[in-house]
Structure 1
Amino acid sequence: MSLRSLRALCLTSFFIADVRDGLGPFLGIFLTQRHWQPDDIGLLMTLGGVAGLLATLPAGFITDTSKNKRTLLALLCIMITASTLLLWFSQQNSVVALSQIVSGICAAFVGPLITGITLGLTGQRGFNAQMGKNEAFNHAGNFFTALIAGGIAWYWGVGGIFLLMACTTVLTLCALLAIRSKDIDNDAARGIQSSVPQPLPGLSVLTQNRALLITGLTLMLFHLANAALLPMLSMRVAATPGAMNPGLYAAATVIISQAVMIPVAIWVSRRIDKYGYWRLIMLALLIMPLRAALAATSAAPLMMVPVQILDGAAAGILGVVVPGFIVALLCDSGHVNAGQSVVMLMQGVGASMSPALTGMIAGNYSFATAFSVLSAIALVALLIWWRYASVLIEHASARALKAGAD
C-alpha cells in the first residue's frame, strides 16, 4: 500500500467532514432565524433524507463497479456545496427542498466511496486500522471546522458558515487529487481477497444474508432515535428567548462530541480483535437510551455537555466498527460496498424519519416528550441486537474463516 495515498485519504476524511453534511446542525438554526417552524424544518430535512435513501442502494453498486472512485467523489462534493450555497440566496420552499434533495442524494455516495477507496488501498487486513484513522481524522475535521464555525457564528452570524463550507470543499478536492488512482485495487475495494473471478454484486445475495439484515434493522432504530437529537437541541435553544447564542451553542455541541470521537475511534480500531464487533456495537447501543433520557430531563444549556460526550462515544464506536463488521460479514464475496449500502439504506430510513417524528412531537407536545420517545426507540434497538447475538457472531466468524482458508 502507498503511504502517500493513505495520508491523502486521511486528509480527505478530515476536510470532507464539513462538506458531506452541508450546514448540518446549523441548518435548523438558519431556517429558525428566518421564521421557519420546527415541524416544517423537520419535514424538509426528511425530504432530503428520503432522496438520499433512493440513492443509497445505487451508491453501493456503483462504488463496487466504479473504476475511478476519486473523480466520482470529487464531483459529488462539488454538487453538495453548490446546492447548499443556494440557501444563502433564497429560502423559498422549492429552493430549500431542491437543496436538500441534491445534498441527500450526493451524500449517500460518500460513505461507500470512502469505504471502497480505503479497502482498495489497504485490503481487508489493514482495513480496520485505516478506518480508525479515517474516522479520527473525520472527527478532527468536524472538531476544527466547528471551532471555526462557532467563531464565525459569534461575529458574523450563521450565514458565514456558507463561506467556510466552500473553503473546505476546495481543500477536499486537493486531498483527493493526492490519492493515486493506480494505488486503488478495484477488486480489493469490492472485498475480493481470492484470485477467483467474482460476479458483480447481486441484490438477492444481500437480502438473503440474515445477519446483514439484523444489523441494518438494529441500526435503523438507533438512527431513528439518534439523528434528530442534535438538531433538536439547537432548535430548542433557538426557540428559547434570552438563551445563549444558538450558533455558538450548535458549534459547542459539535465540538464536544467530535473531541470525544477522535480518541474513541483510535481506541476502538485497536480493540476489535480483542473484544469483537458484536460487543463493541452493543456498547454503542447501550449509550443511546441514556443520552436521550438526559436530554429530556433538562433544557439547561449545560446539559448538552454530558449528552454530547455520550454522542461522541457512541458515534466513535459505530463509525469504525460497523464498516469493519460488514466487511467481515461479506468477506471475499465481491459485494462489500453493496452490503454497506444495504445497511446505510436501513440506517437512512431511521435517520430520515427522525426529524419529522421529533419535530411533530416537539411541535405538538414538548421537546422533553420528544427526547423521551427517542430513548424508548433506542431501547428497542438494544433488545434486538441482544436477542440475535448468536446469529451475528456465528455468521461473521464463518465468513472470516472461509476467507482465511481461501
Structure 2
Amino acid sequence: MKATLALEALSFFMADVQAGIGPFIGVFLLDRGWRADEIGSVMSLAGLAAMVATPLAGAVVDATRSKRALIVAATLATTLASLALVYTRSYAGVAGSQIVAAVSASVLLPALAGVTLGMVRASGFDRQFGRNQMANHAGNVAGAALAGWFGWHYGFNAVFALAAIFAVLAVVSVLLIPAQAIDYASARGLDGDQAQRQAAQPRSPGRLRSLFVNRPLALLGASLALFHLGNAAMLPLYGMGVVAAHRGNPSAFTAQTIVIAQCVMVGAAWLAPRFIRKHGYWWVLLVSWCALPVRGVLAALVMNGAGVWPVQILDGIGAGLQSVAVPALVVRLMEGTGRVNVSQGAVATAQGVGAALSPLLGGTLAQQFGYAGAFLALGTVSVGSLALWLCFAGTLRPACAASCA
C-alpha cells in the first residue's frame, strides 16, 4: 500500500476516534436523566482540558520522531476513556472520562498534520491534507450512519463497540505507514539546512508565543475562538432539542445530523484546495464565517426532521472549508520556523477556548430560554468572527495572498 493511501485510511478511521461518542453524548446523558446545563458543563470541562493540552501536544509532535507511536497511544487512550462512560453514572466519573478522552484526542490533529507535512512537504500539504479531510469526513459519515443504525436496533452500547472497532482499524493504518516515508525535519516545517541550524541553536519561541508574535496567526486564532463559541454547542443542542420534543429516535436522529453535515464536508474539503489556489485563504475563510449566523437562525425557526437538512448543510460548508484551510494556512504562515505543529496547537487552543465555553453557554441558555433562544444567541456570538475578519482585512489579505502564491 502506498504511504499516502495508508495516511488517508488513518484519516478515515481516526474520524470516529477523534469524535468518540461526542455527538451522541448529549442524547446519551439526556436518556439517563441529565439536565441540559449539566450536560453542557461536562462538555465544557472536556473542552477546557483539550484547550490546555493542545499546545503541549503540538510541542510534543514537533519534538518527537516517534509520531506513529504517539498516534497509536493517543488513539488507544481516547477510545478507552470513551468506553468508560458505559460503566459510570456519577458526574465526576463522566466528567473524568470526557476530560481524558479530550486530552488524548488533542494529540491526533497536530500529529496527523505533522506526518502529512513530513510526507508531502509544504508544497503538497494543502492538496494532501484536503484528501485527508475528505477521508476523515467520509469516516464520520460511515461511523455516524453505522452508530445510528446499531444504536437504533441494539441501544447505545453498540455505539461504544463501533468506536472500539474504528480504533483498532486506525492503529492498523498507522502501522502501514513506513517510518522512512516521513521526513522529520519537513514535519516541523524545516528543510535539512534549517534543521541543522536549529539543532545548533535550540532556543525557539514558546508554545503560545508563536500565536502572538505572528499577527495574522493571532487574528486567525481569535476568529476561530469566536466562531466556535457559537458553533460547538449547536449540533448537540439541536439533537437534544428535537429529541426533547419527542420528534425522533435519539440515536437515529443524531446520526442523521452528523451524516448530512459530513457528506457536505467531503465536498467542501475537495473544493477547498481549489478555491484556495484560485481565491486565497482570506475569501475561503470568509465564506466559512458567514455560514454559522444563518445556521443559528434556521435552527431556531425549523426545529424538526425537515430542518436538519439546511441546518447541517450550512455546518458542512463552514466546517469543511475550515478543516483544510486552517491547517494549510498555518503551514504557510510558519514555514521555515520549525514550529509548525506548535503553531497548529496554538491555533487549535484558541479555537478550543470558544469550543469549550460553547456547550456551557448553550446549555445554560437552553435551560433558561429554550432551545430556539439558545440557537439565536449562539448565531449572534459567531458574528464576531466575521466582523474581526473584515475589520482586519488590510492585515490578513496580503498575508493570505502571499501564502497562496
| SS of equivalent residue, structure 2 residue 34 | coil
Identity %: 38
Give the C-alpha shift of residue 270 in structure 1: 2.3
Give the C-alpha shift of residue 202 in structure 1: 1.4
Q: TM-score, normalised by structure 1?
A: 0.95
Corresponding residue of 2:343: 339
Say whether the 8 Å CA contact 1:285–1:382 is kept in structure 2.
Answer: yes
Corresponding residue of 2:234: 229
Say whether the 8 Å CA contact 1:32–1:238 is kept in structure 2.
Answer: no
Q: Deviations over 1:67-97 (max 9, x none)?
A: 0101011011101111111111122112101
Corresponding residue of 1:277: 281
Name which of structure 1's ranges 216-225 and 154-163 shifts more when overlaid on structure 2.
Answer: 154-163
Report the AA paired with residue 319 of structure 2. A
- For the residues of structure 2 that align with 1:28 and 1:159, how far apart are their CA atoms? 15
Corresponding residue of 2:218: 213
Are residues 10 and 200 of structure 1, via their aligned partners in 2, closer, same or farther at CA, if it must alter by over 3 Å? farther
Name which of structure 1's ranges 248-257 and 20-29 shifts more when overlaid on structure 2.
Answer: 20-29
Superposition CA RMSD, Å: 1.4
Gaps of 5+ in 2: none
- For the residues of structure 2 that align with 1:393 and 1:28, how far apart are their CA atoms? 39
- For the residues of structure 2 that align with 1:38 and 1:78, how far apart are their CA atoms? 29
| SS of equivalent residue, structure 1 residue 299 | coil
Residue 325 (structure 1) aligned to one of 326, 329, 337: 329
Give the C-alpha shift of residue 400 in structure 1: 7.4
Corresponding residue of 1:238: 243
Corresponding residue of 2:316: 312
Q: Deviations over 1:302-361 (max 9, x none)?
A: 101100011111111000001111111111111111111111000000000000000000
> What does residue range 234-313 of structure 1 map to in structure 2 within 5 Å?
234-241=239-246, 243-313=247-317
Are residues 235 and 357 of structure 1, via their aligned partners in 2, closer, same or farther at CA, if it must alter by over 3 Å? same
How many pairs were matched up?
Answer: 398
1:202 aligns with 2:205: yes
Residue 93 (structure 2) aligned to one of 86, 92, 95: 95
Q: TM-score, normalised by structure 2?
A: 0.96
Corresponding residue of 1:130: 128
| SS of equivalent residue, structure 1 residue 192 | coil
Give the C-alpha shift of residue 130 in structure 1: 0.3
Say whether the 8 Å CA contact 2:116–2:187 is kept in structure 1.
Answer: yes
- For the residues of structure 2 that align with 1:382 and 1:193, how far apart are their CA atoms? 36
Report the AA paired with residue 113 of structure 1. A
Say whether the 8 Å CA contact 1:331–1:399 is kept in structure 2.
Answer: no
Corresponding residue of 2:383: 379
Following TM superposition, the consecutive aligned residue runs of length 4 or more in structure 1 with deviations greater than 6 angstroms are none
Report the AA paired with residue 88 of structure 1. V
Are residues 320 and 398 of structure 1, via their aligned partners in 2, closer, same or farther at CA, if it must alter by over 3 Å? closer
Say whether the 8 Å CA contact 1:44–1:97 is kept in structure 2.
Answer: yes
Corresponding residue of 1:404: none
| SS of equivalent residue, structure 1 residue 332 | coil
1:51 aligns with 2:55: no
1:390 aligns with 2:394: yes
Say whether the 8 Å CA contact 1:284–1:318 is kept in structure 2.
Answer: yes
> What does residue range 150-169 of structure 1 map to in structure 2 within 5 Å?
150-169=148-167
| SS of equivalent residue, structure 2 residue 351 | helix
Gaps of 5+ in 1: 402-406
- For the residues of structure 2 that align with 1:329 and 1:48, how far apart are their CA atoms? 29
> What does residue range 58-77 of structure 1 map to in structure 2 within 5 Å?
58-77=56-75
Say whether the 8 Å CA contact 1:64–1:201 is kept in structure 2.
Answer: no
1:186 aligns with 2:157: no
- For the residues of structure 1 that align with 2:214 and 2:6, how far apart are their CA atoms? 34
Say whether the 8 Å CA contact 1:362–1:369 is kept in structure 2.
Answer: yes
| SS of equivalent residue, structure 1 residue 16 | helix
- For the residues of structure 2 that align with 1:28 and 1:378, how far apart are their CA atoms? 22
Corresponding residue of 2:4: 6
Say whether the 8 Å CA contact 1:191–1:332 is kept in structure 2.
Answer: yes
Give the C-alpha shift of residue 396 in structure 1: 4.2
- For the residues of structure 1 that align with 2:52 and 2:191, how far apart are their CA atoms? 30
Are residues 200 and 254 of structure 1, via their aligned partners in 2, closer, same or farther at CA, if it must alter by over 3 Å? farther
Report the AA paired with residue 213 of structure 1. A
- For the residues of structure 2 that align with 1:187 and 1:99, how far apart are their CA atoms? 35
- For the residues of structure 1 that align with 2:146 and 2:203, how far apart are their CA atoms? 44
- For the residues of structure 1 that align with 2:348 and 2:129, how far apart are their CA atoms? 17
Name which of structure 1's ranges 293-302 and 79-88 shifts more when overlaid on structure 2.
Answer: 293-302
> What does residue range 18-33 of structure 1 map to in structure 2 within 5 Å?
18-33=16-31
Report the AA paired with residue 226 of structure 2. L
Say whether the 8 Å CA contact 2:277–2:404 is kept in structure 1.
Answer: no
- For the residues of structure 1 that align with 2:107 and 2:395, how far apart are their CA atoms? 29
Are residues 182 and 293 of structure 1, via their aligned partners in 2, closer, same or farther at CA, if it must alter by over 3 Å? same
Q: Deviations over 1:269-316 (max 9, x none)?
A: 223111101110001111111011100112222101100011111111
- For the residues of structure 1 that align with 2:51 and 2:242, how far apart are their CA atoms? 30
